[in-house]
Amino acid sequence: MALSAQRQSNNINRSVQFTIGDPTITVDGETYNVYPDWRWGDPDEAGSPATTPNRAFVTTTWLQSKAGRKGSSVLQVDVYSRIGSPDDPDGDPFGNRANDIADFIEDVFSGTEASGSLKACVRVLDFNLDPVAPVATDDTVWLRSIDGMLGESDSRTPAGTEGEMWRVSLTLRFWNSLDFRQTPYYG
């Protein structure tokens, strides 16, 4: 028996990534690429050398996909910002841009919407029938830290520099509403 759409890992993972930004996010008027599977990204523009490399970009990697299965799904979000680049001579010498982007991503899930609903709650979309225009399911996943704090990341690690890039790493833990309530039956 196949899992219902709201419990399928692909739907949960893509719904969260869609909420963060797919394929880009805009922070302080600047647009940055989000690479859900960074292996297929080209932030250095190696494929088109005449193009300027990305000033900053975001990669996401699922470390665990157990939401909807009496567990949680864990997403690692890495934010990279160039210390210097041809179109940005001042660069990001102190990692401020990387931290601003990480703040923006955390804010996507923190606090409340104007309607009063919690931002930590993400509607699970069904990408099976139409991946371009997914349909909302009747279930949600919630960002809840291992400490039980809604809308908070498990960790935020300023990872320093890697080559010519600042890196800030976030770990986000998502629970399906059934997992969140610890419901014994997953019909």
Residue 85 lies in a domain: yes
Q: What is the pLDDT of residues 15-74, one digit of tens each?
A: 999 999 988 999 999 999 998 866 656 566 655 565 677 888 999 999 999 998 888 999
**Domain encompassing residue 101:** 5-181
Interstrand relation of 30-35 and 24-27 (parallel, antiparallel or unpaired): antiparallel
Residue 187 lies in a domain: no
Residue 30 lies in a domain: yes
pTM, to two decimals:
0.89
Which of the residue ranges 33-37, 168-172, 176-180 has the most confident prediction, judged by mean pLDDT? 168-172
**The pLDDT of residue 113 is above 70:** yes
Q: What is the pLDDT of residue 136?
A: 95
**The pLDDT of residue 86 is above 70:** no
Q: What is the pLDDT of residue 74?
A: 97
Count of the separate structural domains present in the chain:
1
Residue 91 lies in a domain: yes
- The C-alpha atoms of residue 98 and residue 169 are separated, in whole angstroms, by 10
Residue 165 lies in a domain: yes
Here the CATH number for the domain that contains residue 27 is 3.30.2000
Q: pLDDT higher for 118 or 47?
A: 118
Residue 186 lies in a domain: no
Residue 95 lies in a domain: yes
Q: What is the pLDDT of residue 163?
A: 78
Residue 52 lies in a domain: yes
